[in-house]
Amino acid sequence: MWRTRSTQNVPFLPFLVTCINNLTWLYYGLWKQDSTLITVNAVGAVLQSICMFTYLVASKQKSRPMSQIFVGVVYLTALYLYLTVVITSRTVLVDRLGLAGAGITMLMYASPMMELVTVIRTKSTRSISRPLTVATFFASSLWFYYGYLLQDPYVQVSIWKPGRGLMCLALNK
């Protein structure tokens, strides 16, 4: 995007949803005092923010990404207010935050599933990025294993993500 100054065929929403995912898990890691969750998601949030900034600089049409950012900020603000004003128990707060993180993670990994609609319609796997699919498979498998080690069901929610990665890899042959 930076080199070509074009966002052609690159959707903005996955960058934003991934950034929101990172920020949610960062907050969860802070409450759980888990340095791995904190470090990985802080770095992820910074990198996604850089990608979003690059997208906005390269994009000719800025109104849609800006409105999506606005919705993301409203979501994060509402989540924060709910957790800090409505919830009074630390245990319930961590539980609800984990649930929110698991939900946004499922959304983050579901958005690329739209590629499968294109694959089925065109009968071509050209739209699936093999390196991204492999990376997603390994990353989600590691998060599942980490959640298993911690016995944290919210981090373990990634159990279906490796399955998605395997399905896309099988289609990509």
* Angstrom distance (rounded) from CA 80 to CA 68: 18
In b/e form, how buried is each residue of 96-105, taking b as 16+ CB within 10 angstroms? bbbebbbebb
Q: What is the pLDDT of residue 111?
A: 67
Q: What is the mean pLDDT of the chain?
A: 84
Residue 45 has pLDDT above 50, yes or no: yes
Query: Rounded to 5 degrees, what are φ and ψ at 8?
Result: -55, 130
DSSP string for 14-34: HHHHHHHHHHHHHHHHHHHT-
Amino acid at 20: I
Residue 13 has pLDDT above 90, yes or no: no
pLDDT tens digits, one per residue of 64-105: 999 999 999 999 999 999 999 999 999 999 999 999 999 998
pLDDT tens digits, one per residue of 109-126: 776 666 677 777 877 776
Higher pLDDT, 153 or 38: 38
Residue 162 has pLDDT above 50, yes or no: no
* Angstrom distance (rounded) from CA 142 to CA 147: 9
Higher pLDDT, 130 or 49: 49
Instruction: Out of 18-22, 54-58, 157-161, pick the least confident.
Output: 157-161
Reported pTM: 0.83
Residue 34 has pLDDT above 80, yes or no: yes
Q: What is the pLDDT of residue 160?
A: 53
